[in-house]
Structure 1
């Protein structure tokens, strides 16, 4: 299906109906916080169902739903980070663990901010090559292998209190990969933290807290871009509806993932990624799906 553009921005979501937006909202909310890439699913599902590609701007703006879910779920942690940082600065006690966590989050956010600004014209462009299903399929396989290696070779014994600034920077650099559809922000940061021997639930916790500034900045930037793209009142209504549905879905997704990782490994996500990656590559090669 042809890409819809407004001022060079992919705005395909404006042509979808509310049922389609609602379905994509559920998928976005769930896949944004699981290590399976929401951006990829926003490309894959419409392609399978023959719908208009909603576009990367829609995916980025809808990340604000994940922001609402993470803030709600980790509200106590956020209060402690903010309160601990204020107390540390006021008392000049820079050994405060919550202050250290705040610094780690800020440091780890810098790489994706720089890369996001540099790659924005390519990421949001109509017919961006990075949104090709063959590219997504290949990325899915690569991430499945990396996550599998982290499960097989790492000890998973460290807690977030043991995180050093070097660890935070490594996870932050890994987060840059999330700009490529199929990598997954939570998947890239979770995998990096697992390679650093963090416990699964601790790796997920840092991944979600780290995602707050990145998701907020990306979402606000995308809303700013959309505000200048003349998408019309109906387009904004679609976004609002999708955000509500995605927020509810995201909260249940984060609750389920945290409970899951307390008891189990990430192997179900590894298998899912590998199977979907192979399917996409075969489907594009056979001509069942567009490249």
Structure 2
């Protein structure tokens, strides 16, 4: 398949990441525009011919989540109606991934609704990163590629030369992925025992399982919004004798107040990726962005050339 058939377009949720992906691939971003009317409606328009081309639309769905998700659907529909040969939705941050199950009466399985909507709009494939619940891949009937930020974040951690490192999962739910971080870095791990009693984005850390005394702790997670869990785990790690605390999180979503909470915490540095770039806060020097554009770019190149992308997944 010729690279001339490839077109990569930026949604308004991911213009910077799209530009970096295009730089990696040596292509120019597709021309398009989004209009926002006074009553809140969105209008998307493709500004070049896509007939018979293989289109990749890059759009994270955060801040504002609903607007960006609806924009993604409109883009998919517009490309299909413009006779694109295929449309791949590249969604670096899939914001409704937490809604993966019916865990109480009379609630929606929001991730399933989103999956159905993306398919109904006409997407042929979806590429995401670090889904909060990997089983969401089963909500789709189209191919789903769930990329891992782990190698990118871990390679940056290795460059930092942290002494006597231990990986810490903030809760048992992330323990399996945290073990992959520990294996990649060649270190041991510990787990936080977290209790969440409401839907207010706050959790209480009950215990740290594992020996962290005298060690440099690296908290790993898939995303953070308020930074509350990270800060509380960091405090408990110091109480239990950890020497220093760092953190590495794929999606730095960051609601208002998160930066102040981080600034007052013992976390020396927080590594995040560039999957979210529309946060309503200004990132502090304490936060370092590690780009995953080359990872997405390589995935797009391999998908476009019908090559395997399994080499992109850590063993």
TM-score for the superposition, normalised by structure 1: 0.27
Higher RCO (CA-CA < 8 Å; seq separation 6+)? 1
The structure in which a higher percent of residues are helix is: 1
Larger radius of gyration: 2
